Structure 1
Amino acid sequence: MTVALGDILPTVRVISLPLRTRFRGIDAREAVLFEGPAGWTEFSPFPEYDDVESAAWLRAALDFGWAEPVPAVRERVRVNATVPAVSADGVAAVLDRFPGCRTAKVKVVEPGTTLAEDVARVAAVRSILGVEGRVRLDANGAWNVDEAEHAFHALAEYDLEYVEQPCASIPELTELRRRVKYMGIPIAADESVRKADDPIEVARALAADVLVVKAQPLGGVRAALDIVAAAGLPAVVSSALDTSVGISMGLHLAAALPELEFDCGLGTVALFEGDIVDSPLVPVDGVLDVRRVVPSSALLDASAVDEERRTWWLDRLRRCHALVEDAAAFREGAE
């Protein structure tokens, strides 16, 4: 979808939301929000991503803000709790922010932590959720194959729903899946989908049992639905640590999936100290309603970044917009 830059800039707001606990190496999440004919939308690639990768996030924002919504097959989506790399003693306080969630995704292999600390954290989550709770792990590709196999054995007793991106590369995932298949612990792919030149390769290589899909990094709701359909694997929708505006995009993706057997990672607004809407998309009884949100002017003002950061983001937006326009022109020429 092509949208003129002049139609984007008038409503642009650049904001920063502090996190309750350091997560993914950051203490605050910055995002660009703007309004299109279909409603408010979000552009928030992480600062370290280059412009080519970030352009997919802008395509997603434009699609959500300007295109007609895709048909939905559900109005509510069950979500999981997200547990950062806190100490075992801190797990209960984190889970309290996700009332009614029967599933928890636990971060492991964070810098500066040990496997023993990961085991203690997972054990605490299992103890609180009980035997009927669902526990999944997210390693962000930080293990090599031998380390991952060792960790699977150390953590298997906690009845894991799946382990997300235990290794970074598709060949490593394929080898690990071969080694641990007898254990019955599924492997989910995240980075091997959203950061890949070919997001279907992980399915063709039989390297994963589940796809983790995120609307922004994959270029939008429609693009993500196409990937899931082509891969032929069960999918779980997750967030990219979005504001409620970005979470709404993820909810529309989850609502449109023909099948959705897993609780989705869309409850992450609970990790923020605040949000930019009066009624944030935080779990109630473990569920989120599928809806669009409208930011509060007062909350946008309160969370606005300084002029230096605003300029940095606007420059990035302009560069990514040029890439999106160039790609659209190339496609039109090819047709």
Structure 2
Amino acid sequence: MKVLGIETSCDETGVAIYETGEGAGRLLGHCLHSQVDLHAAYGGVVPELASRDHIRRLPLLLERLLRTTALRMTDIDAIAYTAGPGLAGALLVGASVAESLGLARGVPVLPVHHLEGHLLSPLLAADPPVFPFVALLVSGGHTQLMRVRGVGDYALLGESVDDAAGEAFDKTAKLLGLGYPGGPQLARLAEQGDASRFRLPRPMLHSGDLDFSFSGLKTAVLNVVSGADWQPAWTADLAAAFQEAVVDVLCAKALGALKKAGLKTLVVAGGVGANRRLREVLDAAVGGRGGRVYYPEPELCTDNGAMIAFAGALRLAAGEVRGTPPAVRIHPRWPLTELCPPRAARA
């Protein structure tokens, strides 16, 4: 079975085709367009511009995907699309295209949770993890720890009570005068800095639970740059100190989640999962306790169609069938816990 995946939740347009079969399936191909250049002039994502660009790019990407995989739409057996969470207008573009193609072709169409796509994306790697494991989801809008027993069997262990880690990276980058997208620029600058110059707080590090908070850390950076003795030459050092604080908290909470779940396998997914310092610290900490950390392939860390096609394929393999009649349904706000089994939403 060949499953077409469509991702349009925010500022990246992604399409992919995943083929299931006896034994392991395989990703036949994927195409991605980033809107970074489009939004750079505004210092952040402009929802209306994002939606319009998805409309322009999606047909072209689909055409390129079919050409590079030597397939036709008649070869597609099912379609999966990101139904949420995300920007309402952007989600509507992908949902409308998916439902229209499904109706025209008479094939199943499945709405997929964006975070479930991220959570399962490390399974696409050449050396994938096996269930059960703890998942650390770190993206621009979400920071969560989940216990994962299988597809659709998730339990929330902890989450951010305010800013997500990626959001904190972006906001702090703006405070430091860095361009858009701020998070990756801050991470690159941090590699040149001395983190020991500034001592920043580690919010909720000793809270006794597995929740996160990063808004106070962002405020601490603001206090430094607003101080009378602040010098722009220290920007790289402050970036390094900020990154180190975030990494320390993420690592400590991830280790706590592994202990609580009684597991040794950690899966890290989402855009912040590509951060080199985070990977370095997590690998050392988890490995030192006899465990292992798994990540998506680098090209699949950000939003992409491959993770949506894969999640849809796994859902279909588990027997999920989309009801009729077809309808365009999106969920701009869609907690991942709604996919959890009863009484397992919060472990």
TM-score norm. by structure 2 comes to 0.29
Radius of gyration: which is bigger? Answer: 2
TM-score norm. by structure 1 comes to 0.30
